[in-house]
Amino acid sequence: MPIRPRTPPSETSPAAPPPDAAPASPPPVEASPAPSADTISDGDLAAALELVKRDGATRESIRRGLGVSRERAASLLAEMEAKGIIGSAPRPGKKREILVTTWPPETAPVQKVDSEISEEVASYASDIIIHLLAGGEPSTEAFERELGLSKDDAETIMASLVNMGVISALTDGKHEVLIKPLTREEFTNTQKKIAGLSWDEIDERVAKREFTVIQVMAIDGMPGSVEKEDESEPSADERNELFNKAVENVIKAGEARLTTLAHGLVLTATQVKDFLAEMEHRGIIGPTRRGKPREILIKTWPAETAPDTKPELAKKTTPILTRAGGAAADLDNTKEAKPAPAEPPPAESTPPETPPAEPSPEETPPETPPTPPAPPETPHATPERSKWESITAGFRGAFDRFASKFRGEVQASDEKEYKASWGDVAKNAATGFLSVAASYTGVKILADLPQWLYQKYWTNPAERQRIKDALAAKETELGETTEPTAIDQKKAKLEEAINASKFLTKEKKAELLAKLHTTVEEYEAKDKTLRTERNEKIAKLLDQAIETRIKNTQILKEGLNSALMVTGLSAMRGVAYGAVAVYERHQEVMTSPERRMQYWKEMTYRGFTETAHNLIGGKADTWTGKGMNFVKGATNVLRAAGFADLAIAEWTTEGRSFSSVIETSLKAWEDKGAAAGWENIKAPWERLGHLGEYAKSAVTGSEPAPGATPETSGGAAGGGAPGSPEAATAAGTAGAAGVAAAESAPHVEVPEAQIEAGLVKKGDGILKILERQGVEGKSALEAAREAGIVRAAGDTRLTTEAIGRLSVFAEAKPEGGIEIKFFDTETDKVLTLAEAREAGFTYESGTVPGELATESEVAAHVAETAEILKDSADVPNDLLGGTFHLYADAEGNFTSIDVGDGDTLTRMKEALQELTRQGHGDSPEAKFIFEQYRQLLLTTEGAQVDDATPPPEGVEQATQRVTEQRTAESETSADGEPLRRFKGEAGKVKFVYDKETGAVKDAFLPAYTPGKAEISSSLREWGLTTKQVRNHFFEGSARTHMDGTAIDTSHAERYPEPNPTESRAGFPIQSPENDYRQLTREVTKLSRQESLLQEMEENGYRSTPEYARLKMETEQLERTLSRQMDRQFHIKERPI
Amino acid sequence: MSWSRFANILQTRPLDRETKLMLIDLVASVDDPKLEEEIFSFVFAWEEAQAQTQRELVEGIKRITHEYELAQTALNAGNQKATLSIADDLARQKRIDDLRTRITSL
């Protein structure tokens, strides 16, 4: 075998890279790139790159992060794309890739370094394969120790080996070698498959994994890659001759490596390793050195004083075949071509530079198809080199993806940290179920459960003791042990009565006391037996359930593991470790629970997705698709049955279809006679399989799987104890029926009636719902405060999404008081407040607790659409007997209305009538109410009130002469269908249509709470900082405008102290916090709406009525905000 | 397909970290919504299986507890009987004493 040339990158081009191996690094960029945009420097791009790495490659992230205009952000984005810093604009809903890690490129020679590393490491491919075939350990440690690889290279190559299916993913802390020598039949088959293919085609197929590394290496004559059939011992002379030749190879090549010494010889992998060891032993080469090649200690061979071959080493070696002609021919004719010691070693006359004798057509036996010739048009791509390159290309593809993107980002120690043993899985499962059991039985029973249960799952005595102590502490805390039993009380009473009796003789007393004691003792003994029996039963039940959970989890785990293996994604696991570490770390430190989920989705997941996406080439690849189909169809089964390794090996050995892999594997499994073992895991798997089908049909709305008849709901129940084979089989054989039955039952034990009573209806508020359930107003308010639903500066409200779906109910707490809970009736999940908010059921707004936010309310937000109307001192703000309130901001401008209970329109009408009766019909208060009335009428009824102010004849007459707003034009989007909603980078906007005419009557952004970064960037558009705005509202007497003039503080009652005698004590009508929040909400909303408008334009929605509506509302909002900015901060014009 | 449900599984289910990592690996590396949905279906199916196991466990515990309570009730009844006989004995002695007093006074 020749010394493999270290192919420079330019020479590797003929080798087709894998389809999913597009280099993750950017294409090489000129050292001094000439920016195409005059105004965009490398510094700008570098700053933008940092931002997109952090927040994603969107215009909004750049705009907010750099505080630039949208146009500038768009230019930067375009320039980044042009320079290959980020990928091209993805399809909607997908994120752009980030293609480089640093900018400008001359400071980041990542590509170059990685390429060098790749080649260096790839040149060790043959050595590594020989090492593994010879039974060497598949570990970075072994690669360093035995092959002289550096630690980094060893780690890199480990990942690639996993990716290529040479070794398994890390399982139970170690990798498994998945390759094995080909049988003669397999070798012949491979030859036949290769016959007629050009080397380019072979390269392509290797890249697609239609040929495995070992197949190609076998064809190439790799030592040990084909099973040897001749087991006869070679003579000492034969062996010496071969050894001498191997030494000559090493000296000539100047490298003491496995591949080098085997050059031109046919040896088994074990023999190659033995030769190397012997060379070291005989002082021909130096010992292994981590990260460095072995030294060659002699210059000529045979040395005149060369010591004799060690007998023990000679004994260890196995038969050696001399190479006679091409490797393939040799291998194919092993039976006939017995070792021929008399023949001179052919390699003696073969210089090491000579390429290996490829199985040329002349040398190939007639029955063997000729091996493919080198394509004449690529003279440099000789068959040998192409084969080699096909192997290195496989490695390089992985390296490019792996090393260039996250080498250095993820430490090997991270990987080691996350080894999950059976014990971890068991502990997880056991802990989960113990807590479940505790909630049903109380901790007392749990503390009394037999010792064996704890010993089984917590092998560490200290850990066991800790759990027992915790249970005991909880037991004491709950007072479960302090209650005297009824029998003790009875016994005490009777004892007292007997002793106190005046009518009993001493003897009789003694007799009765003895009888009493006997009775109690008998009772206690029987009671103890009963309790022990019960505890044993519960322990067994728990044990079975835990076992089932462990099995199910292992099935899940194995299935996922297989999926990773077959999709070639396992090399990316390192990234995932990093991602999860980031996620978990942030989960710990996040102080704002409502942002947690958003953070996870937007930051951690997205960041990881993009990294991972780059690793696999950034595009959907068919290989992944195929792999996933395989996963969903078969691998779970195979893994669950514990023979997926076999399946994968089979699959990678032959280019078989997935179904044939399953058949082969099942057959192999049967041949193993492991049916009994299969029985143990069959049932859980079947259950999972059916569940999968059911879940799939439930998700896709397709027909349920055969046998999925929900009517036969008894299937899964009563089939034995949970976790038992009977139960599992019953569940499995009942198919989806059992699952359907299980599915139909709520996941959470909440009484139906309670859910029903708490279901949100139109017009509901959280407190109102609670009160409807019989909770006292005061208690409800206290609970709401405690839960953070009602706060001094605002409250949590229900959205329209909650109507008919979310149930709000109160649950008594053990320590007294009530707890407010949310229950999603669609998913049967109890939600926390943060989860309810995340799911869009609630939003943060206003100061009035518990009012339902309707779409119209959100759309027609007072401050955005109404004229600014000032509170007048002589007109009451509390109307209708104090049940109708008007609220104003710090400047006395009306901001919102609490209409109280009842129909909103009716209440508004009544309030207006009251004001008219009092002679305030044209007051700002009346105008404000009327404006809200008009807006509400428009949004809910589609009716347009022409009057801008309350008409003299009264609001009722005005209502009567409303004219329905009907537009003659077709108010649908371009394709004739209403757009309904538009989702862009900046958020989403929903449109409300008139039921009859289809006209767009509202465009609104669903309620949200802006983040600090968003507030900051939006304020920057106005030339303001968050600090300035906060100071403006919070610094009382020191309040000045931006130009230094003092703020008019004539509204002394602006921030009144809460009045404890009022029912809404603790909720000041206005507060600096409220004013600050309201302003920032409006500023961010305007920014979002403007961004959305621009995105709609870019997406071709400019001529749609939806766009027109959003534009109109955005302009209104901007006008309102401009007035406010002028008034509050003396800002005449928005800088950006 | 529910992201919140998926995230909830990662946050709350008794899974070891390695499995969570594998879940993230798969979901993150697939950009085909259908495949993503398939993975979600598989994971949710597992969650359902776990929930079913839990329901069965709870049912089992309820059944055993109920059986125990029945046996306890029977035992209590027996014990009640025994203690009542002692109480009867006490009362009988009192009645005897009463009778004796009444007879003496006749």
Q: Give A592-630 pLDDT, tens digit per residue.
A: 444 444 443 443 344 333 333 333 333 334 333 333 333
- What number is the average pLDDT over the span A64-78? 79
| Nearest Cβ partner for A695 among B11, B44, B94 | B44
**How would residue A1084 be classed by pLDDT, with cut points 50, 70 and 90?**
confident
pLDDT of residue A513: 86
Whether B7 and chain A come into contact, CB under 8 Å, resolves to yes
- What number is the average pLDDT over the span A839-851? 59
- What number is the average pLDDT over the span A672-679? 40
Which of A42-51, A240-249, A1123-1132, B11-20 shows the lowest per-residue confidence on average (mean pLDDT)? B11-20
pLDDT of residue A618: 34
Rounded CA gap, A693 and A715, in Å? Answer: 16
pLDDT of residue A794: 62
For A847-880, write each residue's pLDDT tens digit: 333 343 444 443 333 333 334 566 777 788 788 8
Which chain B residues touch A516 with a CB distance below 8 Å? 83, 86
The verdict on a CB contact (< 8 Å) between B5 and A827 is: yes
Which chain A residues touch B54 with a CB distance below 8 Å? 433, 436, 545
CB-count exposure of residue A612 (10 Å: 0-12, 13-18, 19+): buried
The residues, ordered by sequence, that sit 6+ positions from A739 with a Cβ below 8 Å of its Cβ are: A687, A690, A691, A694, A708, A716, A731, B48, B52
Restricting to B residues 12-71, those with a Cβ less than 8 Å away from any Cβ of A are 13-26, 28-32, 35, 37-46, 48-62, 64-65, 67-68, 71
For A969-1004, write each residue's pLDDT tens digit: 333 334 456 777 788 777 788 888 877 777 787 787
The chain B residue lying nearest A421, using CA atoms, is B16
Which chain B residues touch A94 with a CB distance below 8 Å? 31
| Nearest Cβ partner for A441 among B38, B55, B61 | B61
Please state, rounded to an integer, the average pLDDT across all residues of chain A.
62
Rounded CA gap, A113 and A1047, in Å? Answer: 62
- The H-or-E segment that residue A943 falls in is strand A943-944
Task: Give, as one character, the DSSP assignment of residue A174.
Answer: B
Concatenated DSSP letters of A953-984: T-HHHHHHT-EE---SS--S-TTSS---EEEE
Q: How far is B101 from chain A (nearest CA, A)?
A: 11
| Nearest Cβ partner for B35 among A576, A628, A699 | A628
Token pair 């009842």 in the structure block, residue? A902
Strands A884-888 and A894-898: antiparallel
- Taking the mean position of all CA atoms in its chain, how far away is CA A140? 28
pLDDT of residue A951: 58
The larger pLDDT score, comparing residue A275 to residue A717, is at A275
**Encoded tokens for A23:** 């280099």
pLDDT of residue A306: 40
Which chain A residues touch B69 with a CB distance below 8 Å? none
Interface-testing mutation among A521, A547, A556, with chain B (most B C-beta atoms within 10 A): A556
- What number is the average pLDDT over the span A3-18? 31
Q: How far is A558 from chain B (nearest CA, A)?
A: 9
The verdict on a CB contact (< 8 Å) between B26 and A564 is: yes
pLDDT of residue A363: 36
For the ranges A528-542, A648-662, A711-725, A963-977, the maximum mean pLDDT occurs at: A528-542
The residues, ordered by sequence, that sit 6+ positions from A750 with a Cβ below 8 Å of its Cβ are: A807, A809, A821, A823, A830
Rounded CA gap, A604 and A606, in Å? Answer: 6
CA A938 to each of CA A205, A798, A960: distance values in angstroms, whole numbers, following the listed order: 65, 22, 14
Interface-testing mutation among B8, B10, B20, B22, with chain A (most A C-beta atoms within 10 A): B22
| Nearest Cβ partner for B82 among A420, A424, A519 | A519
**How would residue A571 be classed by pLDDT, with cut points 50, 70 and 90?**
very low
Task: Give, as one character, the DSSP assignment of residue A800.
Answer: G
The verdict on a CB contact (< 8 Å) between A436 and B58 is: yes
pLDDT of residue A459: 66
Helix A42-55 and helix A70-82, axial crossing angle in degrees, nearest 10: 100
Q: Which of A387, A878, A796, A800 minimizes the C-alpha distance to A594?
A: A796
Rounded CA gap, A1112 and A1131, in Å? Answer: 23
pLDDT of residue A557: 67
pLDDT of residue A307: 41
Which chain B residues touch A537 with a CB distance below 8 Å? 64
The verdict on a CB contact (< 8 Å) between A552 and B30 is: no
Under 8 Å between Cβ of A412 and A138: no
- The answer to whether residue A800 scores a pLDDT higher than 60 is yes
Which chain A residues touch B70 with a CB distance below 8 Å? none
Q: Which of A610, A448, A412, A614 minimizes the C-alpha distance to A542?
A: A448
For A1038-1060, write each residue's pLDDT tens digit: 456 556 665 555 544 555 555 55
Rounded CA gap, A631 and B26, in Å? Answer: 11
Rounded CA gap, A734 and A693, in Å? Answer: 13
CA contacts within 13 A on the Cβ side of A302: 13
CB-count exposure of residue B42 (10 Å: 0-12, 13-18, 19+): buried
- The answer to whether residue A344 scores a pLDDT higher than 50 is no
- What number is the average pLDDT over the span A1056-1085? 64
Q: How far is A464 from chain B (nearest CA, A)?
A: 19
The verdict on a CB contact (< 8 Å) between B55 and A745 is: yes
The verdict on a CB contact (< 8 Å) between B49 and A552 is: yes
The chain B residue lying nearest A738, using CA atoms, is B52
Which of A44-58, A557-571, A765-779, A1011-1025 shows the lowest per-residue confidence on average (mean pLDDT)? A557-571
The verdict on a CB contact (< 8 Å) between A723 and B56 is: yes
- The answer to whether residue A1111 scores a pLDDT higher than 80 is yes
Look at phi and psi of residue A422 and say left if phi exceeds 0, alpha if psi is from -120 to 50, else beta.
alpha
**Encoded tokens for A1043:** 């130009």
For A368-426, write each residue's pLDDT tens digit: 333 333 333 333 333 343 444 444 444 344 334 333 333 333 333 333 333 445 666 67
The verdict on a CB contact (< 8 Å) between A717 and B24 is: no
CB-count exposure of residue A280 (10 Å: 0-12, 13-18, 19+): middle
Tally DSSP H helices, then E strands, for chain A: 46, 14
The verdict on a CB contact (< 8 Å) between A829 and B8 is: yes
Q: How far is A1028 from chain B (nearest CA, A)?
A: 37
pLDDT of residue B86: 82
Number of other CB atoms surrounding residue A913 within 10 Å: 17
Residue type, A324: A
For A729-743, write each residue's pLDDT tens digit: 333 322 223 323 333
pLDDT of residue A1047: 58
| Nearest Cβ partner for A552 among B2, B41, B50 | B50
The verdict on a CB contact (< 8 Å) between B41 and A696 is: yes
- What number is the average pLDDT over the span A63-67? 76
Q: Which of A97, A65, A55 minimizes the C-alpha distance to A80?
A: A97
| Nearest Cβ partner for A512 among B55, B79, B89 | B89
Q: How far is A442 from chain B (nearest CA, A)?
A: 11
pLDDT of residue A90: 61
**What spatial distance separates the first Cα and last Cα of chain A, rounded to whole Å?**
70
**How would residue A1082 be classed by pLDDT, with cut points 50, 70 and 90?**
confident
Rounded CA gap, A259 and A406, in Å? Answer: 30
- What number is the average pLDDT over the span A289-296? 74
Number of other CB atoms surrounding residue A684 within 10 Å: 27
Token pair 């940290």 in the structure block, residue? A417
Which chain A residues touch B36 with a CB distance below 8 Å? none
The verdict on a CB contact (< 8 Å) between B87 and A497 is: yes
> Is A806 strand, coil or helix?
strand
The verdict on a CB contact (< 8 Å) between B96 and A503 is: yes
Task: Give, as one character, the DSSP assignment of residue A349.
Answer: G
The larger pLDDT score, comparing residue A93 to residue A769, is at A769
For A81-95, write each residue's pLDDT tens digit: 777 788 776 655 566
Task: Give, as one character, the DSSP assignment of residue A183.
Answer: P
| Nearest Cβ partner for A523 among B18, B65, B75 | B75
For the ranges A563-577, A685-699, B2-16, B48-62, the maximum mean pLDDT occurs at: B48-62
Q: What is the torsion angle, in degrees rounded to the nearest 10, for the CA atoms of residue A833, residue A834, residue A840 and residue A844? A: 80
| Nearest Cβ partner for A688 among B45, B60, B61 | B45
Strand partners, A407: A410
Interface-testing mutation among B61, B69, B92, with chain A (most A C-beta atoms within 10 A): B61
